[in-house]
Structure 1
């Protein structure tokens, strides 16, 4: 019933989560799109906000927070699962089923995790 395994290792600034946290991923921040006047309704939607799972986070050499998230992107015809590093400001916590937060602003991540 309870997971008694040791916590995942912390190496440097890298923090691996034992249980991924549910987040929203803003694809406009992950894939900045220089829109044109053309419209392709059947193309890949990079303007969506999609559900994702936060699995770990780290810092860059300049101190910027990066997060590893898994999420799905796609078009009307296809879907692809993606796992990649993104800037921390591309995600936000998802609310729980009963309107409660799944977590309190990412436990163990410093208060200033986005800076």
Structure 2
């Protein structure tokens, strides 16, 4: 399979098993031969990898040849990366904390911040 970023063939042997053993986002890009801008990856790495997982959850890769699996996973990584090269993580809101965040909605007083004094008053009464 010749689809690496630098034109060298990608080793597709046991690709899923090898990908499961990776931990850093850079390793996924290197193994799959996808070039990236370190600035984009540094800002959006968790979002990109989470998006890859979401996209792959929609794929059925079982019983496919390693070469086909590698091509699909590579295309998925590229698609997820491109999502965040043109938009911020706030646009896609992949993580719950961002889904719940609404910059136009002010925080409800007393719900997002509990003053230490109010906690200490409870103990003083006991």
Q: Normalising by structure 1, what TM-score? A: 0.26
Q: Normalising by structure 2, what TM-score? A: 0.24
* Larger relative helix fraction: 2
Q: Which has the higher Rg, Structure 1 or Structure 2? A: 2
* Larger relative strand fraction: 1
